[in-house]
Amino acid sequence: AGILAMEPQVLVLDEPTAGLDPRGVADLVAFVNRLPGEYGMTVVFSTHHLDLVAEMADHVYVMDKGSVVGSGTVGEVFARPELLARTGLDVPPIPRLIRSLQESGVAIDMAYTYEDAKKSFLDAYARRE
């Protein structure tokens, strides 16, 4: 809170959800996602939780042993599972499931978050009828 009172242009968070329960994670994500729009603040964070990346990031840098080995939008990075695998990470369950459905011939839009997935599933179901 003290740092935020100083109104920094850039806020850097290292594993911001470590030790938080699911409600705490949801509250933190909602709060941090408001900072750029309400305060013009840039937020940089590091995490191994790619579902969190899907909820919070506009741009992603993938690092391995201190070096950037890839970057792009969430969609661009998640579309490269080999990049994530070489760093010990995996595409989160939602985009992995949707990609599998697409590969099986289901006409469904890609989604990275729970809210977007819900919309994609409902839209796909409506198109089916």
| pLDDT computed for residue 1 by the predictor | 67
- Residue pair 95/54 in contact (Cβ under 8 Å)? The answer is yes
Q: What is the pLDDT of residue 20?
A: 96
Mean pLDDT of 100-119: 94
CA 9 to chain centre: 22
Q: What is the pLDDT of residue 29?
A: 95
The average pLDDT across 53-80 equals 94
> Does residue 51 contact residue 69 with C-beta atoms inside 8 Å?
no
Query: Average pLDDT of 113-123?
Result: 94
What's the pLDDT band for 66 if we cut at 50, 70, 90? very high
pTM value? 0.79
45: tokens are 């964070």
